[in-house]
Structure 1
Amino acid sequence: YGFAFAKATVSSPDMLAKFTLNHAMAYVKFSISSQELSTYKLKSVSLYDKETKTPLSGVFTADLDTDELIYGTDVKPYATVSLTTPELLASTQDIYLTTYPADLSGKEVYIVITLENDQQTVTIPILKEGKQLKANAVNTIAVNNLKLSDNSCEWYEPVETRLLAGGWAYGESNCLLTNISTEGVDNVINVKARGNFMEVEEPKYAKTILNCDLGNANKMVRVNGSATDITPVNGDYTITVTGIQTYAGLPGGCGQVAIYGADQTTVIWSFIIWMTPTPAEHPYGNTGYVVLDRNLGTYMTCEGDNWKQNGVYFQWGRPTPVGWSGTVGTNIPTEATNVRFSIENPRALLYTNNVDNTKSDWYLGAWTGARTDRKDDFWGNPNESSTYLNPSDGHKSIYDPCPKGYRVVSPRVLDEIEQKGEFVKQSATAVFKYCYDGTNYAYWPLAGCKWGSNGGNSGNNTGLDTAKGAACYWSNSSASSYGNDKDQGATSLYYKVSDKTWTHSSGRSHAFSVRCMKDTENR
């Protein structure tokens, strides 16, 4: 993790060369202790020059004649040391970090300390006055008796109970479940940042970016009183979202709200506004799962034989939906080498046509096409088994699109529908009926999908699949063994009516329906 060099000259081949290594890097020793957080394990520490962006890490070339480092184009203003085996902070821990030599004198820099236990991740950014990081020397930084109150940013929430999946988020849930009325129903959303501190910024503005998936012209979602204008985030880092029924024939649907940083232009996060009467919870037989009675995004169940029961579509692993029709979303070729691309384009289906090395995934990673590029934990349930019936249910992640207290269904819920659901073709729609308690039924509509290859729709290309051609649902799990997964996909329920076939793995760029189940950990 360091780089050092030496030069020595001998006068004959029989002499030993005597030399002293010269370290071109700076070494930082963190000495960290805590009484308040002694039951947590120390996971990582970062040094971060957030404001002036002094280079601290990245690829470099060393000129051994001049003792100079020449930085590459990927330099970062932070450096991180992560512990493979985190240990309790019950006693003082010393850990070492390698950085570029840097003069941080007179600058305010962050010491970002991340801890974890079985249920929470705690990240505490501490603002300190910087000093010179000298090459060929150990520079010591002590953090004595670390506390939650050491958090230096009002806009940052240190404690996160969801699985971080190596990323970041804003707010405690990506989906607000709310009723609406003609007078308006107000809801307060906390928009503080959490997770990877090096990837977040202060949320300053908010705006409605979709009023309703069933007709964006119906001004149903208002942020801080406005259905159209960008407005400042409240002083306590909340926004007030109001659901209003503006059209008698449209008592619900799915909207979307985005938040922005100082530039008022770039989306830094977005929230689903799911406007519906409170869904019922169905205990699914003896499975132990409790599942909501409708697809995410719709305000009705399927007894009414109405295409509005279909809800919205999600590409696997993304926290926000794409539109079921071209009028409420866009299609763009994916360039998602990191998560930020998908966050900044929340209404876009990221298609893979004419994009190399995608393996049918909107997320490209290092863009080599290798399975190691994939992120299997986006929705909290990476699959390390040899079957699509992942034996684990995982944990709710920060990218999960379901409301607080719920998460995307386990693959075993989809298997229950496949094994015990009854296909019924209705007048306007088709459904799977599932008798969940011996008497009453849950309904899973054949809502079709949008193909991630080119953004096209299944069925008759309306996005509503009135041909009743396919049931397409995601689980929270990635697909099974890497060798059997040609498209490096995710575990799905895909039933094709024309030939009565079931497929259990689908390319992650396809946009399918989502059903939510009760999160037993209530995250």
Structure 2
Amino acid sequence: MKKQYTFLVLGLCAGLLTTACSDDDYTNDFTRPAGGNQIFFNCQSQLDENNKVIWAADSKIGFFCEQTETVNLAVGLAAPFVGQTEGLFYTQVIWNKEAGDHTFYVYAPYNKNNTSAKAIAGTLSNSQLQSGTANTHLMSSALTYATATSAEVETAVPMTFKHALGYMDVSCKTAAKYAGWKIKSIEFSTEDGVPLAGEYKFDLTTGQFAIAEGSSKVQVKVDNAPELVQNEAFHGYMSINPLDLSAKQCKVTVVIEKAGEDNDLSLEGNLSSVKILAGEFNTLEVDMDALTETVLGDNSVDLSANETANCYIAGKAGQEYRFNATVMGNGAVTPAGTNTTTFPGITPSILAPSSVAILWQSARSLVSGVKLKNNYVYFTLNGSDETPLVSGNAVIAAYDDTGAVIWSWHIWVTDADLDAKVQTYTVHQNYANFATYQSPVMMDRNLGATSAELWNSDTDSKDAHGLFYQWGRKDPLIGPSSENATSIAVVYDKDNNTIEPTDWATTTTPITRDDIAKYPMTIYGGASGISENWFAEDACDLWGSSVMYAVDGAEGKGAGEKSIYDPCPPGYRVPHPYVWSTFTSEPGGGKHKTAGFTTTIDGGIKTLQNTTGATFSSTYVYPATGFIAYTASFATGPALQRLSKGLANVGINNWSNAANAANRGARFFFDNGGCSTPAGNPRAYGYCVRCMKDTK
């Protein structure tokens, strides 16, 4: 089941202490240590009497104490206090009997980079996201802290957290004019450059909060807003630098939208007196009917203008995008082959979705504003002109009027210029007579990756390996977490709640052609399940290959074409199986121990253990990806075989578009035992994809 954040009334900070914490190694003490007299804390946080923190399982605080020489120790919540308003945080730090009174400084969210209690640092974004009428999004930016002095005791030291930020409640009301419209965004700004958001410094010893320079505007985008009702206020909430702006010129801009209207409206007006106090909700009354109205054009970018696909790359922070919601993939017909059993062909139909929504996303608020308008899916990226883009991946699903998924699209969020980073490969001389194989142009990273580098213990593995695919499927599967080789990476739903491993369904029943797009969060396999194929037929052309892979080149007819199930973005497709052929001296490769061939791997065959990946021909970087095994439960492991530094046979695994036998796909594979360029493996395995330029 999904983790739901539980709040009392506003519940401002319940999730705060989980969402902004470091992913790096730290000391977590979940139970009281035996023996000695360790220091532990009884922590609670509240904005007022009605709004207390509900501590979450992965809540962490940062802890300083000069008397015990403790500097920024990360301390985890004791398990019995999950879901409670009072949380015990045990440490292994022992009281210094010679020091007398101890002064403790604690804060949240934990930041590994804080090295002094006088220099807590962080960033308050000027682009924030609210879901509906709730104010729970404030948890992602709140900064709380506490100070206490105590002599040695055997009980918990009480710590009551204060809030360093101010919280603006922009109360928008219309008498009648805009009833039926929805709030899309609210922006509060100053005209003389006073910083309302940006990089901050906070002194735990004095309680002083400061932003030296930053953005003079804060915008809250609103997802799933209700329609405005006359004379009933809609409350937009934002975290903001606590300042007295009574003598400053301020402005509010409210953008509204309405179903059936082609254009949004911008409503602007000046404000007279605003004073923002730390640790309080500061209410700003806005009469929408008195604001100046401007009609806005559609400034979204059409990602499907030149070609439709199952994946779209988007990379400008704060930009709104759109794509055609009526086309299956690229909309192309894949003709049937001579053998209509294994190459039956594919004919798309027109999609007619009733609604769209985020299915999953790799970071909270990665994308927002997802809506269906005029047969297009609209969405907006995180960030702004002044707030950097958070990269990652999201899947947007289209639903029919019964709520069933009819199609879905992968949004690859990255500001890297992937077209400028492509690499031209050379195929093996044995294929010199096959014109369709020559000079394949490949991306420099796997599909969904936000890094083109080898990963190591200091980098995030999921940034490098990208997403995983069962052969022939268009739907991506999230890969393993960076912390645990047998657990999947955390993803979030449309409401920013954590999606548990059990929400990725695993079934032992192969899917039929009619249902091929309906279950994008289902992995076909299982401990007692599918022997080799996730599909109920041996169709070899799902990714557009016209013939079976053969080491002799299959008479030069194996390049294939892009199909409606191809997972690559416009202009690219799943590569033909010969693109890796010069990574070995012999087509197809083999086992290293036979010494029947050589490879172009930098550093020799042990490089995989040393660098968690390999570089071929000193140019082409392939991180160790491992795989998702179809023979075990995705939710409980060991479905994810991968990615621990020094782990032998982790392997590099990348699918091609071709099948090479019944129920098997052709994949590029390298580990310490051998290098296959390519070889076949069951299609139910989850491997990575590296996209090739589509020249057709």
Normalized against structure 2, the TM-score is what? 0.42
1:207 matched to 2:357: yes
1:191/1:465 CA distance change after superposition, 3 Å:
farther
Label 1:285 to 1:449 Cα distance change in 2 as closer, same or farther (>3 A).
same
Q: Shift of the alpha carbon at 1:333?
A: 1.2
1:97-176 matches, within 5 Å, as: 172-176=308-312
1:49 equivalent in structure 2? none
Match of 1:238 in 2: 376
1:433 aligns with 2:615: yes
Q: Give the C-alpha shift of residue 494 in structure 1.
A: 2.3
Change over 3 Å in CA distance of 1:455–1:472 after alignment to 2: farther
The structure-2 alpha-carbon separation of the partners of 1:421 and 1:180, relative to structure 1 and needing over 3 Å to count, comes to farther
Structure 1 residue 250 displacement after superposition = 7.7
CA shift at 1:407, angstroms? 0.5
In structure 2, what is the equivalent of residue 450 of structure 1?
628
Aligned to 1:495: 670
2-structure distance, mates of 1:458, 1:428: 25
| RMSD, aligned α-carbons | 3.3
CA positional deviation for 1:386: 4.4
Is 1:260 matched up with 2:394?
no
Partner of 2:449: 298
Q: Once the two structures are superposed, what CA deviation does each residue of 1:15-40 show, in whole Å capped at 9, x if it has no partner?
A: xxxxxxxxxxxxxxxxxxxxxxxxxx
For residues 338-361 of structure 1, give each alpha carbon's deviation from its aligned partner in whole angstroms, at most 9, with x where no partner exists.
134442221222115423xx4400
The answer to whether the aligner puts 1:508 opposite 2:683 as a matched pair is yes
In structure 1, the partner of 2:533 is 361
Distance 2:552 2:524 in 1: 25
Query: Aligned partners of 2:569 and 2:450: how far apart in 1?
Result: 14
Is the partner of 2:566 in helix, strand or coil? coil
Report the equivalent of 1:190: 324
Q: Give the structure 2 partner of residue 473 of structure 1.
A: 654
Match status 1:374 vs 2:538: yes
Aligned-partner Cα distance in 2 for 1:278–1:208: 25
The structure-2 alpha-carbon separation of the partners of 1:388 and 1:318, relative to structure 1 and needing over 3 Å to count, comes to farther
- Alpha carbons of 1:245 and 1:297: their partners in 2 closer, same or farther (altered >3 Å)? farther
Identical residues among aligned pairs (%) = 22
Question: How far apart, CA to CA, are the structure 1 residues paired with 2:387 and 2:509?
Answer: 41
8 Å contact 2:548–2:658 — kept in the other structure? no
Give secondary structure in 1 for the equivalent of 2:668: strand
Displacement of 1:432: 2.4
Q: How far does residue 382 in structure 1 lie from its aligned partner after superposition?
A: 3.9
Listed as ranges, the matches of 1:377-388 within 5 Å are 377-384=541-548, 386-387=550-551
How much does 1:241 deviate? 2.1
Q: Which amino acid aligns with 1:274?
A: W
Q: 1:418 to 1:458 in 2, by over 3 A?
A: farther
* 1-structure distance, mates of 2:639, 2:683: 22
Q: Distance in 2 between matches of 1:429 and 1:460?
A: 23
Could you tell me whether the CA contact under 8 Å between 2:444 and 2:621 is conserved in 1?
yes
Residue by residue over 1:461-508, the C-alpha shift from the partner in whole angstroms, topping out at 9 and shown as x without a partner, is: 57545436211110011115x5xxxxx3000122232x3354700100
Out of 388, 407, 414, the position equivalent to 2:580 is 414
Aligned counterparts, 1:13-92, within 5 A: none
Change (3 A) 1:387 1:353: farther
Distance in 2 of aligned mates of 1:362 and 1:311: 21
**Counterpart for residue 313 of structure 2:** 177
Structure 2 match to 1:64: none
Larger RCO of the pair (alpha carbons < 8 Å, separation 6+): 1
- What amino acid sits opposite 2:692 in the alignment? M
Task: Check 1:470–1:242 CA distance in 2 against 1; reply closer, same or farther (3 A cut).
Answer: same
Q: In the TM superposition, what whole-angstrom CA distance separates every residue of 1:228-267 from its partner, at most 9, and x where no partner exists?
A: xxx4x202x101122215998983122111111112x211
Amino acid at match of 2:510: A
Alignment match, 2:426: 285
8 Å CA contact retained: 1:178, 1:278: no
AA of the residue aligned to 2:409: F
State the partner residue of 1:119. none
CA contact (8 A) 1:257 1:270 kept: yes
What SS does the corresponding residue of 1:344 show, helix, strand or coil?
Answer: coil
- What is aligned with 1:311? 466
Q: Taking structure 1 as reference, are residues 304 and 334 closer, same or farther at Cα in structure 2, changes over 3 Å only?
A: closer
Q: Is the 1:459–1:465 Cα contact (8 Å) retained in structure 2? A: no
Take 1:451 and 1:490, find their aligned partners in 2: how far apart are those partners? 14
Aligned-residue offset at 1:178? 1.5
Amino acid at match of 1:270: S
Output the CA distance in 1 between the equivalents of 2:548 and 2:566.
Answer: 20
Q: Return 346-355 or 451-460, whichever deviates more.
A: 451-460
Decide whether the 8 Å contact of 1:314 with 1:514 is kept in 2: yes
The structure that has the greater radius of gyration is 2
Aligned AA (1:284): Y
C-alpha distance 428-211 of structure 1, shift in aligned 2 (>3 A)? farther
CA distance in 1, matches of 2:383, 2:361: 11
In the alignment, the residues of structure 2 paired with residue 431 and residue 285 of structure 1 have an alpha-carbon distance, to the nearest angstrom, of 21
Q: Is the 8 A contact 1:382 1:478 kept in 2?
A: no
State how far apart, in whole Å, the 1-side matches of 2:467 and 2:669 are: 16
**Aligned AA for 1:489?**
R
3-state SS of paired residue (2:393): strand
Which residue number in structure 1 is paired with residue 45 of structure 2?
none
Number of residue-to-residue matches in the alignment = 317
Q: Measured at CA, do residues 174 and 465 of structure 1 come closer, stay the same or move farther in structure 2, by a change above 3 Å? A: farther
Which aligned pairs between 1:380-399 and structure 2 lie closer than 5 A?
380-384=544-548, 386-387=550-551, 389-390=553-554, 391=556, 392-399=558-565
1:245–1:252 CA contact under 8 A, matched in 2: no
Q: In structure 2, the residue corresponding to 1:479 is in which secondary structure?
A: strand
